[in-house]
Amino acid sequence: MNYGILLSKAAERDLRKLDKHIQRESIKALADIAENPYQAGKKLTGFASEYWSYHFSVQGTEYRIAYEIRDDEVIVFVLQIGPRENFYKTLKRRI
């Protein structure tokens, strides 16, 4: 069963700020997450223990997508998309 993808306003801004080829890879990653969000990502721990993180790489740079799985609505709510550098520090501020 595929989940719907819902981007937060901040995640929409994150996606727009990325280069076009990284945007395309991010959209492919979101499609992977929609297919099976539990297998696609890893459950986070600590301050973000209710969220998941999907990891992908483009030209040697690591990127992350932080999301929440809402089973009752069959939706994946995306909180943040971006490079690994300072990703979790920014995520902590957004939560």
According to DSSP, the β-strands at 42-43 and 52-58 are antiparallel
Write the pLDDT tens digit of every residue in 30-82: 999 999 999 999 999 999 999 999 999 999 999 999 999 999 999 999 999 99
Half-sphere exposure of 29 (CA within 13 A, CB side): 24
Instruction: Give the CA count within 13 Å in the CB-facing half-sphere of 34.
Output: 12
**H/E run at residue 42:** strand 42-43
Domain spans, the chain = 4-94
Give 7-43 pLDDT, tens digit per residue: 999 999 999 999 999 999 999 999 999 999 999 999 9
pTM to 2 decimals?
0.95
Domain 4-94: CATH superfamily, name plus number: RelE-like (3.30.2310.20)
Q: Which two tokens stand for residue 70?
A: 């809402």
Q: Show the tokens assigned to 27.
A: 């959209």
Query: Is the pLDDT score of 1 beyond 80?
Result: no
